[in-house]
Amino acid sequence: MTTVSRTFTVKPSPQRVIDYLKDFSHAEEWDPGTESCTRNDTGPIQVGSTWHNVSKIAGVSTELTYELTTLSDDRLVLVGTNDTATSTDTITVVPHGTGSEVTYEAVIEMKGAAKLASPLVKVVFEKIGNDTEEDMVRVLDSRA
Domain containing 56 equals 2-141
CB 64 within 8 A of CB 83: no
Within 10 angstroms of residue 59's Cβ, the number of other Cβ atoms is: 5
Q: Which domain CATH number covers 47?
A: 3.30.530.20
Interatomic CA distance for residues 104 and 117, integer angstroms = 23
Q: Average pLDDT in the 33-39 region?
A: 96
DSSP 8-19: EEESS-HHHHHH
Count the domains in the chain.
Answer: 1
* pTM of the full structure: 0.88
CB 76 within 8 A of CB 21: yes
Interatomic CA distance for residues 144 and 139, integer angstroms = 9
21-to-12, 113, 116 alpha-carbon distances in Å: 12, 32, 32
Per-residue confidence band for 120, with pLDDT thresholds at 50, 70 and 90: low
Mapping DSSP to helix (H, G, I), strand (E, B) and coil, where does residue 118 land?
A: helix
pLDDT at residue number 58: 73
pLDDT at residue number 57: 77
Instruction: Kindly tell me if the per-residue pLDDT of 123 is higher than 70.
Output: no
